[in-house]
Amino acid sequence: MSQLLPQDQPNMDFQFTTPTSESIQSTKVAQHAAQVMKKVPEITLYFWIIKLLTTAMGETTSDFIVRASPIIAVALTSLGLIIALVLQFSVRRYVAAIYWFVVVMIAIFGTIAADIVHVALGVPYVISSAFFATTLAIIFAVWYMSEKTLSIHSIYTRRRELFYWAVVLATFALGTSLGDMTATTLRLGYLSSGILFAILFAVPALAFWLFGLNEILAFWLAYIITRPLGASFADWLGKPQSVGGVGLGTGVVSLVLAIVIVCLVGYLSITHKDIKSEHA
């Protein structure tokens, strides 16, 4: 019996095996493929700076072109947004110039959409803000039920990218209504509104660093606030002094912001500082 036991006893070594070099290599290849296919930038200081600049530019550019001709403004921004999205979905990886082109067009289009709801349809900012907030919540809910994650780091499939851009568009429309509501309906003015949203923008970051707020929740809260934050300060700079602005003009502010955005995006396109290093 003793001579048979070693042969008859089941081999349990598989329970304690360590990953082979092949499995480790396969994991690295899969991770690298996901990183290469990701369609959004890394969340760095550059991301937040450009995001704020695009929100500001979207506000003033919308005001500038709508004043010339609302119909032409809607037509041009709709066409520009379609072209930007076609370019974004046609590439297989993140391209800084294309990505931020989409964000700029959504910023302008989202602002015009929110303004039309208020000006053309006569919907109060309180109601439009509630509507866009509900729309955003529904998109988030459907996205999570479908993909089980809302992480910006997981945007490497077509369906997740569709959800992502739908959320971005909803945040711009919501932010426009919120900013206008605080500035006009609540009579805080543009500068006070900007200061208010700057404080609110800092809350998720502090909650994340000090109290361990969920990273994804903190990101999206801050992302939503960037819209009224940038728009409020842009309105303050561009609007006439008679309505509480500095009076620089929406055209001038839009041009300066566009130049700064182009320079920053050009810098990122060359340095790739918004792309995670393969060795990180």
CA-wise closest residue to 100 among 226, 224, 265: 265
**pLDDT for the residue numbered 254:** 96
Q: How far apart are CA 165 and CA 208, in angstroms?
A: 24
Rounded-to-5 percentages of helix, strand, coil across the chain: 80, 0, 20
**pLDDT for the residue numbered 37:** 63
Q: Which helix (H) or strand (E) holds 167?
A: helix 158-180
**pLDDT for the residue numbered 137:** 96
**pLDDT for the residue numbered 72:** 86
**pLDDT for the residue numbered 114:** 84
Consecutive 10-residue runs of the chain (280 residues): their mean pLDDT? 42 47 41 59 95 95 86 90 96 95 94 82 89 95 96 91 95 90 92 96 95 95 95 94 93 96 97 74
**pLDDT for the residue numbered 19:** 56
Q: How far apart are CA 111 and CA 169, in angstroms?
A: 10
Q: What is the CA radius of gyration of the chain?
A: 24
**pLDDT for the residue numbered 240:** 93
